Structure 1
Amino acid sequence: MIHSPQFEHLQLVVENQVATISLDRAGGVNAFSTAMYREIRAAIRIADSAGDVSCILLRSAKRDFGVGGDLHEMRELLDNGQDVDLYRFRDDLPYAALRSTRKPTVAAVDGLCVGGGLGIATSCDIVLVGDSARFGVPEVKMGLIDGLAASTLFGHIPRSALNYLLFSGKLIDAREAVRIGLALECVPGAELQARARELAHDVSSTSASAIEQYKRIIRGYERLDNLDDVAELIVKSPEVRARLNDFHARRSE
């Protein structure tokens, strides 16, 4: 039985052996602050340790699955001279907890899924998409890099498609995501949650120990880059600061 704390930015519900984590940042879109990242990581660990959970399902309670890291928080830390605090984005990331969970994980994605949202989705074992889903790695527009996307998607989608996502910062739609292998299947948005629960129950009914061993083998093929590189780039690069300031200036016009 799950005994979870009161979360501010998500809900954690267990039903029929499936733990559903609904991303729902208070007061806005799912832009991932350090506090929200911490809550996601905690919810994953709680679900992974619960004896009555056989599968973990991540979804969004908002229109968009995730629009990336909270650039407003990032800029405030830079403006306040709290450069070392930027490493909190690295320290609080939930990807390692999500990828190391023993239980199968499913992401149900609709709307925007970029930056941190893409990191969370692609850290799951299976990705389902609604027909309005859009994926991308827009960090390059800020002068940033996403070491996780480069590592986790390499070998899983065509090299040219990976390079296009990383180099251009452009978005691809749901059907293209399925075509290149980023997602398993695309369904109408109204059917996404029901299909995700159906798939979660499918994998919940098989051998938990066999799934755990499959996950260990498959994850063993992957090599993640040092994500401290991202925080170091933010702290040391004048270009990153300039691009962040320009982004906020355009948003406030």
Structure 2
Amino acid sequence: MNRPDVRNALSPTLISELTQAFHVLGEDPGIRALVLAGHGKAFCAGADLNRMKESAQAPEAENRADAQALATLLHTVHTCPKPVIARIHGPCMAGGLGLISACDVAVAAQQAKFALTETRLGLIPAMISPYVLRAMGERAARRWFLTGEVITAAEAWRIGLVHELCEAGEIDQRVRQLLESFMLASPAAMAECKRLIRDVAGQPIGAPIIEQTISRLAAQRATPDGREGLASFLEKRKPAWVIERDDDPGA
């Protein structure tokens, strides 16, 4: 996100551009993983204030269209077949929490801070709620959704909103390490894993879900990557999807 003058606020244009970028990059076979970051002092300030002023006088249909656009972006990030890392270096507010919750991994600087400020504006965090609730859990959401208080990076880590904390100067190194881990995994298997998580999470453990997981593993073993993974293990070599890299940390 590159709107540092407005703290990467989510304007209709930015929402549209992000949605398109995730669609295109998610389907690009040359892309193995994505990093969502923000330029400037903030990761994302949430909704664009100018657009919020306009929406106060806008008809319901226009407000529904804006809500639909954000909901589409969040779902696009959530269902992206590639691993997505949120790199959170600074303040992450309201809709920004929805974005990081839709990502697969969230890495934050110790100085980052978070807040769900909607109730202080007479609003609710509606479109982001499915993703944020999955990240922090219902119990934590009862506090942070209602109060709008600032959430420190340490508290965000404690409640599961972010996976890891780093010193500000170390965040890029940690992101690179995560990217290197993704480069060792089968792209097809990672995409299938993401679908598996979405389909299995929250389901009761009974005959239907057990049968589904059996079928999915059997099908995955028969895929080209499933066969290549087993063959490379038995032959004590790296699988074909592992790309050799030089020692240049900027590569």
Q: Where do 1:6-85 residues align within 5 Å?
A: 23-25=1-3, 27-79=5-57, 81-85=58-62
User: In 2, distance between residues paired with 1:148 and 1:221?
Assistant: 22
Moved runs in structure 1, 4+ residues, more than 4 A? Answer: none
| C-alpha spacing 1:73/1:187, structure 2 compared with 1 (3 Å) | same
| C-alpha spacing 1:206/1:122, structure 2 compared with 1 (3 Å) | same
Q: Where do 1:148-187 residues align within 5 Å?
A: 148-154=127-133, 156-187=135-166
Q: Alpha-carbon deviation of 1:201? A: 2.3
Bigger CA radius of gyration: 2
RMSD: 1.9
User: In 1, distance between residues paired with 2:12 and 2:134?
Assistant: 30
Equivalent AA in structure 1 for residue 86 of structure 2: A
User: In 2, distance between residues paired with 1:95 and 1:51?
Assistant: 22
Q: Alpha-carbon deviation of 1:26? A: 6.4
Q: Where do 1:103-114 residues align within 5 Å?
A: 103-114=82-93
Q: Structure 1 residue 217 and structure 2 residue 196: aligned?
A: yes
Equivalent AA in structure 2 for residue 153 of structure 1: V
Structure 2, gaps ≥5 residues long: 203-251
User: In 2, distance between residues paired with 1:28 and 1:154?
Assistant: 27
Q: Alpha-carbon deviation of 1:196? A: 1.1
Q: Does the CA contact (< 8 Å) of 1:74 and 1:86 recur in 2? A: no
In the other structure, the counterpart of 2:219 is none
Aligned residues: 200
SS in 2 for 1:107: strand
2:172 to 188, 193, 206: 193
The 10-residue stretch of structure 1 (201-210 or 111-120) with the greater mean CA deviation from structure 2: 201-210
Q: Alpha-carbon deviation of 1:46? A: 1.4
Structure 1, gaps ≥5 residues long: 1-22, 224-253
User: In 2, distance between residues paired with 1:43 and 1:222?
Assistant: 27
Q: Structure 1 residue 203 and structure 2 residue 156: aligned?
A: no
Q: Does the CA contact (< 8 Å) of 1:110 and 1:134 recur in 2? A: no
User: In 1, distance between residues paired with 2:15 and 2:25?
Assistant: 16
Q: Does the CA contact (< 8 Å) of 2:4 and 2:41 recur in 1? A: no
TM-score, length-scaled by structure 1: 0.73
Q: Does the CA contact (< 8 Å) of 1:105 and 1:125 recur in 2? A: yes
- Percent of aligned positions with the same letter in both sequences? 26
| C-alpha spacing 1:44/1:164, structure 2 compared with 1 (3 Å) | same
TM-score, length-scaled by structure 2: 0.74
| C-alpha spacing 1:68/1:221, structure 2 compared with 1 (3 Å) | farther
Q: Deviations over 1:174-226 (max 9, x none)?
A: 11111111111100111112211221221132011221121112122569xxx
| C-alpha spacing 1:152/1:77, structure 2 compared with 1 (3 Å) | closer
Q: Does the CA contact (< 8 Å) of 1:138 and 1:170 recur in 2? A: yes
